[in-house]
Amino acid sequence: MTTHVKRAFKYRFYPTDAQAAELSRTFGCVRKVYNMALAARTEAWVLRAERVNYNATSAMLTEWKKTEELAYLSEVSSVPLQQALRHLQAAFTGFFARRAGYPRFKSRKKSRRSAEYTTSAFRFRDGRLTLAKMAEPLAVVWSRPLPEGAEPSTVTVSQDAAGRWFVSLLCEDPAVRPLPQTDMVVGIDAGLEHLLTLSTGEKIANPRHERRDRARLAKAQRALARKAKGNGANRAKARRKVARIHARIADRRRDVLQKVTTRLVRENQTLVIEDLSVRNMLKNGSLARAISDASWREFRSMLEYKARWYGREVIAVDRWFPSSKLCSVCGALQVRMPVNVRTWTCGSCGTTHDRDVNAARNLKAAGLAVSACGAGVRPQREPSRTGQSATKQEALQREL
């Protein structure tokens, strides 16, 4: 029996005033329950060295609803509140397994406004989605069809900082299945002048979405800074304007990355990338904005989950591998590679290289070696280096 991949299908919707009020109350209650449960679990561990699990917090929720102070928790659907406790349990599981940091409290202003409904708290029939505590279905814009016969297992409703409402339906997608095997292997070098350079010689342009809207964004941010701080309507309007510009930038960036990663995964069996430490590179103040705009971390995430979907392989070569200084023809290692050198000639074999294409070809070769022997590519680190490769950062600085 074929196991289908579960996939989230996200749509925009336009709630009525009553629905918006109900969802806003639900978001607030979800945040309240999550924070109270986190506080209770933290206190139990710090004071009594006692671990509190999901069942205990669920019992706490029942008692909270009986109090006069928290009686309003009973006015919204109980399912999103229980789901918030399950998410907290998952966060603690990740923390104790050392996969994530300690769970954080949710802020009213900064945290994502969302609520998750399971099958008992929504009805989906004939393309009409109705949530618990609501008499009318949501006015969803079905911008693309759901898989034929799809039955959502969960529905997540959210509102972004720009005030837009979204609903995400988690369904099994029979269309997502392993693609036919191919012999194609590609090395991918990330950059700023070009978003990606492939070992085939192809260079994918960097759209620089944030730079294109930088003037509009700066103007909107100055207008926001001039508004009196507080909960005034004018400040809220100015804040939404800034958020809409950020949302526009993020939407365009995500659209480009989705198309690029889908094409690469469909065309190649093995994809080799460099294991860049993006978090460390963002500490470089002069590079942080451009690196964030390129969104390498999101690119890698998309590439990896699509590779799992379609039966492909992603190999990450160690970041210390000297891909730029190594001749992809004869293997000679150049002692120095100044940042202003974009093309260079190997002193051993006389081959002239494009710096980025050569790096991508070396990544491809290293990835094939990893795939063949199962060993990582980890050459001796230079003693003076303690963080992300300085050469890579300097090269990126030159591209700017």
3-state secondary structure 44-108: HHHHHCCCCCHHHHHHHHHHHHHCCCCHHHHHCCHHHHHHHHHHHHHHHHHHHCCCCCCCCCCCC
The residue from 22, 189, 210, 293 that is catalytic is: 189
Q: H or E stretch including 393?
A: helix 390-399
Q: What is the DSSP letter of 120?
A: G
The residue from 274, 275, 304, 318 that is catalytic is: 274
Q: How far is residue 144's CA from residue 12's CA, in Å, rounded to a whole number?
A: 11
Total residue length of the chain? 400
Q: Is the dihedral of CA 243, 244, 245, 251 positive or negative?
A: positive
* Site of tokens 């406790």: 85
- 356 a catalytic residue: yes
Q: How far is residue 63's CA from residue 71's CA, in Å, rounded to a whole number?
A: 10
* DSSP line for 243-303: HHHHHHHHHHHHHHHHHHHHHHHHH-SEEEEE---HHHHTT-TTTHHHHHHHTHHHHHHHH
The residue from 22, 116, 210, 356 that is catalytic is: 356
Q: Which residues are catalytic?
A: 189, 274, 356
